[in-house]
Structures are given as structure tokens and as C-alpha cells.
Structure 1
Amino acid sequence: MLASDLRVALFSGNYNYTRDGPTQALNLLVGHLLSQGAAVRVYAPTIAKPAFAPTGDLVSVPSVPIPGGRDEYRLATGLPDTIRADLEAFAPNVVHLSAPDILGHRAVTWARARGIGRVASLHTRFDTYMRYYHIGFTAPLLVALQKRFYNRVDRVMPPGESMAAILRGWGVTTPTPIWSRGIDHDRFRPGRRDPAWRRSLGIGDDEVAVGFLGRLVKEKGLDVFAQVLAELRRRGVPHKALVVGEGPARAAFEAEAPEAVFAGFQSGDDLGRAVASMDVFFNPSVTETFGNVTLEAMAAGVPVVAARATGAVDLVDEGETGFLVPPRDCAAYADAIGRIVAEPGLRAALGEAGHRKAAGYRWEVVNQRVVDTYLEVAGAARA
């Protein structure tokens, strides 16, 4: 069986209406599949003005805005007859589920009833989100639902070994081949650093910029970031905070971190410039499954201080490319950042080591592993 024999139905809660790490990974995967002659049809919610044009054929599924202050995301409400008819006509030999939502559960059931190979990928630690929205008591139920979901597919592809271990701890017995992530090595590299751009934001050439990169939402650890900035100020550690990104929590974050420079949303080569213009990348999030932003910082030669949590532990080599800190330990975060600020030689060594390690992460390599998994699953189902 060849890649050109594949007919992949991809189900996603978000494919292009909001730009984030998972959507970029999925669109790059579809592009890789199409380049090999595979047929792909994507089923996901849509809006009138999406963040970017989709790669491949996108079929809109019914959805509603997610409540609780996160209405920039949508919840697909199921698999109606019109979508089922479209699926039957497309006749996939692999179904890819990127989220354990209502749409994903219905698609798994549809594929199982027809003996079609099923692959799931894991992009978001929904179980960790609940504490940020004051409904932490629901986390065990979410884990149970995800365990059932991932045990109904043929393969689960987490982005790293740390997330695979979490799945096994939940009781998931499905094989877990790794689908890592790649990097645009032209966009994210040390040479993109731009002192003039820094100066335009009020960051001097001799000042150390402690950077944040990502959507400005509670679950990214914005509260911890702000508390660590306050601790750095209390200790007299010289620095400037540089925040790159937008999101619904921006106003609250600005109030908590009034001295930070907010550069707003950046994309394309402007994003590469912003990342390379940081001196320390600080990622306190514990909700990542991989942490694309951490890899982007490493590729740009920026040392990393991150929570010792899924994602970061697969990327950051302690004391070599950065430092891993117990989640929410603000004093330990300040210790690590303060050391990097105070030791320019260490800062340069960590950045160079991170750049070398990031060089091994390439989209064409990691996406081919997904294709190989599809072929394995589709072949077994056909047999």
C-alpha cells in the first residue's frame, strides 16, 4: 500500500478559524499528505472570517461557541446525516481524530462500525484546563472520557514520550507512536534578532528581555508569569518583560504585569524576529502536550526556563538548553531567570545548545511518521 492509496478523513474541533499550535500542525500534515498523492477531507467547525485559509478540502460541521469566556473556540455538536452522507461518498480508509470532543466520539463510532482504521492525535491537555476556570472537580470525568475515547482507536499519536506516559497512566492500552513537531528553521533562527525592533519597543541593547510567547489565555500560566516578574523586581534583577501574543486575557494580564512590553500578535517572519529578539524564554504553562513555542525559542537560540511538565520535559535538557522548574514555584523560576540574566556566558551557551537540539525537529520527518502509521493501520484494516 502506498501513500497515494490513502483516503484520510480528518476530524478537528478547530482547523483554521483560530490560529494556534494544533491548527498549524494539522494544516502542515494535510499539506504533506497531499504532496504524496493522498486524498484528504477535513471535517471541522468554520466561521465567516477564519484566521487563515485551510489546506485541502474543508467541510463545515455544525457547532456552537464554547461558553465560559472562550467563545473564540467552537464545539462541534455531532455528526448529522448530511456529514455522514459526505463521509460515505468520500469513502475514507483512515479516520484521524484530533480531539476527544462530541464530533470525535461520533466519528470513532462511525468508523468502528465500518471497520475503518482509526488514528487519534493528542494536542491539548484538557484535564489541566479546568482549574483555571474554577471547575477542577470535572478533571477526573474528563480523564475517564478520554481514556474511553483513546482505547477505541487503533493508534494514539502523542507529541512526546511525557504525554505517552500520561496516557498509559490513565489506563490507555492503545499503542502510542510519537508524532512530534517540526520547526521552520529559516523563520526561527538566531539571525532574526533585531536590535532596532527591540529599541522601538523601549528595550535597550544591553537590557535582558524575558519573553512570553503564546495566546493570552489563563491556562498558559499568565498568573505565574506576572508573579515571577514581581519577584524579579523585588530582588532587583535587571530585566524587561516582552510579551508576544494576543488573547481574551490580555487586559487582565496587562493589569498584573504593568511594566511588561506588549508587542501584540506577530506572524510569519515578524514572529521569528520577535522570538529571536528575546534573551530568555519563560514558559510557565503546565497545559502543553508539546510546546511549539518552546521549540521555536530554542531554534532561535534563546535559553528556556519552563515548568517541569509535559512538553517541556521532552525538549529542555536541564542545565544544557535551559532550566526546568517545579510548576508554580515562583521563587525557583526567579532563581533560574536571575542566574541567566547575571551570567551572559551561560546565556549564550544555553542558547547555542538549544539551537543545535532544535535542528533535529523537521516537519517532513515527523509528518512522514504519521503517514507510515496511517499505512500500517489502513493495511491492517484491509487485511
Structure 2
Amino acid sequence: MRVVIVTESFFPQVNGVTNSVRHVVDRLLATGHQPLVIAPGPGPSAYRNVPVVRVRSMALPRYASFPVGLPDPVVERTMAEFRPDVVHLASPIALGAIGLKAAQRLGIPTVAIYQTDISGFAKQYGLRAEPAISRWVGRIHRRADRTLAPSTVSMDQLRGMGVGDLHRWGRGVDLDLFSPARRCDDLREKWTRGDRNQVVIGYVGRLAAEKQVRRLAALGDLPGTRLVVVGDGPERALLGRALPGARFTGMLGGEDLARAFASLDVFVHTGEAETFCQTVQEAQASGVPVVAPAAGGPLDLVDHGRTGLLYTPGSGASLRRSVERLTDDAELRSRLGSAGCDAVSRRSWADVVDELVQHYAAVVRTPLLDAA
């Protein structure tokens, strides 16, 4: 099958959308399909010999490292020349809307992947545009032939927007990379300055307003603990002041990231606008107990009291109580970590992308009429 993937983000940007597209491309290649990527630039023109066609872009205000695709005739021209069987719209909002129009003009069926709660993010940046953004997102997904959403909450959001032909499609986890076996005593000793009795509490992800990392301040004075923050982003300097006792590692990838995950004793996620929350899965695959807000994607990923703990969204006191339960109870940490690891053991990217290909095949066989 020939697949054009129109994505709002790709390398050199590293985020959830980029990582998902990368894994989709990897599996498509491994199973004999022919992908092509269209992405906002600048950036590499190929990934693993797969063409990456770059379109005009502009920097997003207050998030300069995130380029937004602009209308560009190269999108439709590329599709016409490549002649794909299906167009995959990865987290469509700007470039995805352009790709959708081009695919419709050419009569190519589309599968749209809902991945980013743009209206929720806008709220965190103080933008009063939630209703307008929701209308725009709903319009895109109503016009796609099929929409795949990662969680129960996101499916409910899309149903409320009138989106039809809606299916649940989660995310895979790299089980070869993330593993309890990656735990590293030397790294822990570096973090704790040699105090092996300290419980290491960690956050992994972008340091941006929508992730609400500042809420980790509720844990700053927990006795016998060390706070580690893995990642980078526009709030790095602010967080350095808000979390003066934390160890900031900067952005990590590959085996360095896997070692960091597995070397934590407790993983904490703070953001409440997650349609899925991939870092929860990666922590679970690493055998680390998870504490996450009872909102969005984590509601599907964390079975409270069995594979992790959920706390009341927006409550620093609830977050602190949940983390204290784990810092005070090594047996509970071990039990939740093991159960979480078992829960994700059947969520490989290979299985997840093979499921995605079945959705491609469904729209290729029976393209739907415009639902808008």
C-alpha cells in the first residue's frame, strides 16, 4: 500500500506526534508498504530513505521551536505524483487541513489521527480561543473518511463535535528499548549524590505550559526524596526557579532515556490535557509505578491501585498524598511497577501499526462521503 503521511510535526522536532509518525513509518517499511511524509520545514528531506517533503512554515507564537505548515501547492502536487492509496493525517490542525483538502480534490481516502488537544493547550497559554479551535478540529475530523482517537476521553470529545466513523486506536511502546533491565545504579548514585536510601521521583516530557510541570513544586520538600526532571522546553528557566532542588537532565533519547526511566522509583505526570500520554506507557514498560491525574488519556492507561495511582486533577494535596503513599511503601512501588509492566507487554508498535493498516484498508475499500 502507498501511504502519504501529512504530519504537523517531524524531525528535527521531537514530540509525541513525531515519535508516532516515526514508528508508523518504521513498521510500514518493515511490512512492505511505501510511505512518504509531508511535514513543515525546515528539516531533513528523508528518513530511512523515505522522502520527507517540506512545505512552507512559520514559527508558532510563544513556541518558536514548533513550525506550523502554511498553504503550499507542493502538498497536492506531491500527492498527485506519488498516487497514494490513502492519506494519513497525523494530528491535523494546520498542515493537516491543507492535506485533507488536497486529498479530497484528488479523490484519495483519508484516515485522521486525533492526537493533540489543541484547545486544552491554548487554555494553558491564556488564549481565549477554545470554542473556535474545537469547531475547527471538529470540521477537519468530520470531513475525514475515518478518525482514530487514542482514548475514551478523546473519543467522547470527538463525538461531541459530531465526528462519525470514529474508532479507538492507542499508541505502541518500544518494548525492546524500555525495560526494567535498564535500571542503572551509577545513574541513581549521580542523582542522589551517593545516598542510596533516597527515593527518586521523576517527570519525563516537554517543559511547556500545557504539561503543568510547575505542579511538581508540591513534592519539593518531601523528606527522603530526590526530584529528577527529564526534558527541555520553553519553561526550562522558569522551572529551574520553581523547583530549586530538582536535578534537570535536559532532553534525553534512546538508551539514555530508557536508563533514566528505569532508574526512577516513582514516575509523576502532571499535564491534564493528554489525549493519550505516551510517557505513562514508557514508565510502565520500565517497571516504574506511575502517578498521574485522573483526566484524559491516563484514565485508560492507569488502573488505580493496580498499575499506578490517579490523583485529583488540579490538586497539589492529592498529588502529594499519592506520591507519599509510594515513597513510604517499597512493596507497593514494586507491586504497581510489576503490574504496569505486565499491562503494556502486549502493546508493541508492530501490533499497533498493523492495526492501523487495517483502518487504511477499510477506507480504501469503502470511501465515505463528506460528513460535514
Shorter-chain TM range is over 0.9
- What per-residue deviation string (whole Å, max 9, x for no partner) do you get for residues 210-244 of structure 1? 10001111111112122x224xx2xx543110111
Normalised by the length of structure 1, the TM-score is 0.91
Normalised by the length of structure 2, the TM-score is 0.94
Given that residues 294 and 313 in structure 2 are in contact (C-alpha distance below 8 angstroms), is that contact kept between their aligned partners in structure 1?
A: yes
Distance 2:226 2:330 in 1: 16
**Aligned with 1:213 (options 185, 189, 204):** 204
Matched, 1:44 2:44: no
- What per-residue deviation string (whole Å, max 9, x for no partner) do you get for residues 161-182 of structure 1? 232122112322x222222111
Distance 1:23 1:196 in 2: 31
Q: Quickly say closer, same or farther: Cα 1:28–1:49, change in 2 above 3 A.
A: closer
**Aligned with 2:142 (options 135, 143, 151):** 151
**Gaps (5+ residues) in structure 2?**
none
- What per-residue deviation string (whole Å, max 9, x for no partner) do you get for residues 115-172 of structure 1? 321100012111111122111x201111111111100011111122232122112322
**Aligned with 1:315 (options 297, 301, 306):** 301
Distance 1:105 1:188 in 2: 34
Matches within 5 A, 1:199-278: 199-203=189-193, 204-226=195-217, 228-230=218-220, 233=221, 236-278=222-264
Counterpart in the other structure of 1:127: 119
Count of aligned positions: 367
Counterpart in the other structure of 2:104: 112
Instruction: State, as a whole percentage, how many aligned pairs show the same letter.
Output: 32
Distance 1:114 1:268 in 2: 39
Matches within 5 A, 1:1-383: 6-48=1-43, 53=47, 56-68=50-62, 70-80=63-73, 82-135=74-127, 137-172=128-163, 174-203=164-193, 204-226=195-217, 228-230=218-220, 233=221, 236-381=222-367
Give 4+ residue runs of structure 1 displaced > 4 Å after superposition: 52-55
Q: Quickly say closer, same or farther: Cα 1:199–1:55, change in 2 above 3 A.
A: farther
More strand as a share of residues = 2
CA shift for structure 1 position 328? 1.2
Give the secondary-structure state (helix, strand or coil) at the position aligned to 1:205.
coil
Distance 2:290 2:49 in 1: 32
CA shift for structure 1 position 44? 0.7
Given that residues 17 and 46 in structure 1 are in contact (C-alpha distance below 8 angstroms), is that contact kept between their aligned partners in structure 2?
A: no
Give the secondary-structure state (helix, strand or coil) at the position aligned to 1:255.
helix
Q: Quickly say closer, same or farther: Cα 1:11–1:48, change in 2 above 3 A.
A: closer
Given that residues 179 and 367 in structure 1 are in contact (C-alpha distance below 8 angstroms), is that contact kept between their aligned partners in structure 2?
A: no
Distance 1:197 1:294 in 2: 21
Two-structure CA RMSD over aligned residues (Å): 1.8
Q: Quickly say closer, same or farther: Cα 1:54–1:79, change in 2 above 3 A.
A: farther
**Gaps (5+ residues) in structure 1?**
1-5
Q: Which amino acid aligns with 2:240?
A: E
Q: Which amino acid aligns with 1:76?
A: G
CA shift for structure 1 position 49? 6.9
